[in-house]
Amino acid sequence: MENTTPAPAEPTEVANAMIAVESVERHFGSIRAVDGVDLEIRRGELFGLIGHNGAGKSTLFKMMLGLLPVSAGHIRIDGEDIHAGNFREVRRRIGYLPENVVLYDNLTGLETLRFIAKLKNCSREECVAALETVGLSHAANRRVREYSKGMRQRLGFAQSLLGKPQLLFLDEPTNGLDPEAIRAFYATLRGLRDSGVTVVLTSHILSEIQERVDRLAIMAAGKIQALGTVQSLRERVDLPLRVEVRTEAALGGALTAILGSFGITPRPVEAATDRLVFDCPRQLKMKLFGAVAGLGEGVADVSIFEPSLEDVFFGFAD
């Protein structure tokens, strides 16, 4: 996918951190599931946390939520320790959607939200509004056992919105959602972010979040291997751009020669005499395009593809 957005500079200090993770460790016996993580997530940010299974992201997620104590270090939510005496106030500001949550089959969608709402001191009206936000108003009075997987996931998202949280933790939030529902889900998230809500999410579907998060962290072996915007990570990992050039068939040889002068070998493209695809080192991009432009009007089109988040992920995580 094309992306030429310039990478914003990574600030060294974040004064307005919603979540501050300071030198946090979590040990399970001799295993260091989280090993000295420092991380600040800004207020009103849509933040992604990605990593292999066992990378430590779920453990970090649970520690940020206060579900697991830290073995060392500190975690502060909006300046307050999640485990401190006023944890109720802190938690009222948090919404959470666990991965693969199975809510109560014998309750209706509305009853499920009413139950959670009572524990969060929210009104019935909020429950109705949350169902409307996720597009489940029509199924409010149906038992959850009759819900499809996608509807259950949307109900899970609805409960996380109760209490107008300032901070949302969403673990694999689009599991089971169809493309239309995924689009609606991210539109809702953007609306929440624009109103100042901080969103932290994990996802295995990297292509889905690469254009949607403001920043992300890549975890591996209990550590944060990379942190920044998708674009800044692309540049840091120094992966080549993929370039596709369409020319008149007669110019194929000339183009191949130009590429060869830059040390680039084009990939074979099946049944295409008018098209060359090749990897271009980022630093050669402008020089190469200048040379290609010299071929004149015989060049019909040039497409540049940034490395995908998956490429970036493997670049850091492996």
If one asks whether residue 157 binds another protein (CB under 8 A), the answer comes out as: no
If one asks whether residue 92 binds another protein (CB under 8 A), the answer comes out as: yes
Shorter beta-carbon distance to another protein: residue 120 or 142: 120
- Among 26, 76, 91, 193, indicate the residue that binds another protein (CB under 8 A): 91
Helices (H) and strands (E) in the chain, counts: 11, 13
Shorter beta-carbon distance to another protein: residue 30 or 88: 88
If one asks whether residue 278 binds another protein (CB under 8 A), the answer comes out as: no
Shortest separation between residue 106's beta carbon and another protein, angstroms: 6
Applying CB under 8 A, the span of 43-51, 64-72, 199-207, 274-282 interacting with another protein comes to: 64-72
Side by side, which strands form the sheet with 275-280? 275-280, 241-247, 299-305
Q: Give the integer Cα–Cα distance in Å for 37 and 109.
A: 38
Beta carbons of 144 and 105 less than 8 angstroms apart = yes
Applying CB under 8 A, the span of 26-34, 95-103, 183-191, 252-260 interacting with another protein comes to: 95-103
Greatest alpha-carbon pair distance for the chain in Å reads 76
Pairing of strands 198-202, 299-305: unpaired
Contact positions with another protein (CB under 8 A) in 238-277:
none
Q: Give the integer Cα–Cα distance in Å for 171 and 157.
A: 10
What are the structure tokens assigned to 205, written together? 């579907």
If one asks whether residue 67 binds another protein (CB under 8 A), the answer comes out as: yes
Contacts of 166 (CB under 8 A, 6+ apart): 18, 78, 93, 94, 196, 197, 198
Contact positions with another protein (CB under 8 A) in 109-138:
115-116, 118-121
Beta carbons of 16 and 224 less than 8 angstroms apart = no
If one asks whether residue 146 binds another protein (CB under 8 A), the answer comes out as: no
- Among 49, 50, 94, 230, indicate the residue that binds another protein (CB under 8 A): 94
Shortest separation between residue 33's beta carbon and another protein, angstroms: 16
Chain residues in the site for another protein (CB under 8 A): 62, 65-67, 87-89, 91-92, 94, 96-104, 106, 115-116, 118-121, 159, 169
